[in-house]
Structure 1
Amino acid sequence: MPELPEVETIRRDLEILHQQKIIAIYRSDKKMRLDSSVDLQKLVNAKINQVNRQARYLLIDLDNKHTLIIHLGMSGRLSIVNKFSQLKHDHFACQISDQQWLVFNDPRRFGFIDLIENKNLPQHKMLVKLAVEPLSEQFNFQYLKAKLANKTLNIKTAIMDNKIVVGVGNIYASESLFDAKISPIRSANSLKDSELKKLVASIKKIISNAIEQKGSSISDYYDAKGNLGNFQNNHLVYDKANQPCKVCDNKIIRIVQNARASFYCQKCQK
């Protein structure tokens, strides 16, 4: 599943669409995770003002007072191509005025496309409950301490909760906790102030580095230009079960938490 660094990489790729006009659209008849309540024909002749991101949602702001929301789901891909071939799992495409196409392909159909009036965007059901961004100033020690004060669940599940902080997916939660030297099995409210400060710094560091490396390509992730990410080459614990820890040589452990695989070093992380 594309996580925040991957989606941010794609957002940056899509900046070339700035001020381009949409001249044609394609939409398949397959049901997606969410079907737009607005006729997507409203996209035709609209000009793209800018491409934003909130959590793992891409928000394409248009000059007709609407926003196109794109969520990639588990296996979705956005590509900028010169020719639209209408492949089997292409569920949405729009032709832009420089004759290129923006194509959304999603084999598993857990992603979605939606169009909404700008005035209603903050109340969109997929956006309204999202917490702060991990790279924002609002995400700091005081904020995280308050959010975790009464949380008895494990810290890894807590930092993956979009109502606490958005975009810290499975890969980056494991890597951040390793960087902070905190065990993923610790209860969230057991962390000391010094550990919380380190965790905030580690999350910001790992997410920033992953964006710089254009995300992690584990299975089927490519950016909008068709390139692989590079951050998977810097993973220290994620998907490294039974391999020696880069710090202490102990074997990396794999466990399952909240139906998600977690990877950590029992010696380095306490």
Structure 2
Amino acid sequence: MTDGTVRITDNEAPRLRRFELAPVKGVWRHEIALFKRYWRSASFASMFEPTFMMLAFGYGFGSLVAVVGGFRYRDFVGTGMVGTAALFTSVFPGMFNGYIRRVYQHTYDAMLAAPVDTHELVTGEALWIASKSALYSCSPMVVAMFFGLDPALGMVLVPLITFVTALGFALFGMWASAVVPSINSFDYVITGVVTPLFLIAGTFFPVDTLPGWVEVVARLNPLFHCVELVRHAVFGLEPLADLGHLAALGLFAALMWIIAVRAMRRRLIA
């Protein structure tokens, strides 16, 4: 005898309905309303932290190292720090905002009570984070221009490059927020994943100076592809290589979207 209730087992989970733009717009309206309240503090931290790092490394080490990879070290670091800024301004909001809104504030529960599906929620959140990061991460390059980096027409491509990069890392952060058992577990992610990605991306030194196997790992690093694209945009595009770098970033973002949606769906619906 049945009572008319539809029971869903793990093996019979409903398929995602088709993607709709209206729920994503709703997520953005929510984010914009929040951003109007904290934009000053968020902008200060997101723009000035990478700028200070660029000044410390570029003009601290730059006084000791003149040329790296055929570029002035200041220019080398100034362009490389754009990728680092894209990483920091996307992965941390993805992790901490995602966890806090899911566990403590139950914001995502409220969103899903509206006609919003998990994949639309994840997409809207990640696109918002990536859009902010695309602007914030240009600050080291702007500072470098004040200290002698020559302007180039290719610089107009940098926000697009950082957007695609930040989208992948924002989704990675959201995936991490859904799989860690507690907020303290982010220490493992930051120390074991984020820090190594930051250090072996070619930001402060060319990756070809690394030992063989480390260089191979570095070239698989999505952040390396971002740094290479930014440098090529500033110093001269290399079409074939750049298409490969862009494809790698796009593949990374697509993979992160799949696993982030699945992980968030298990947490929020299952």
Please indicate, yes or no, whether the TM-score normalized by the shorter chain is above 0.5. no
User: Which has more strand, going by share of residues?
Assistant: 1
User: Which has more helix, going by share of residues?
Assistant: 2
TM-score by length of 1: 0.27
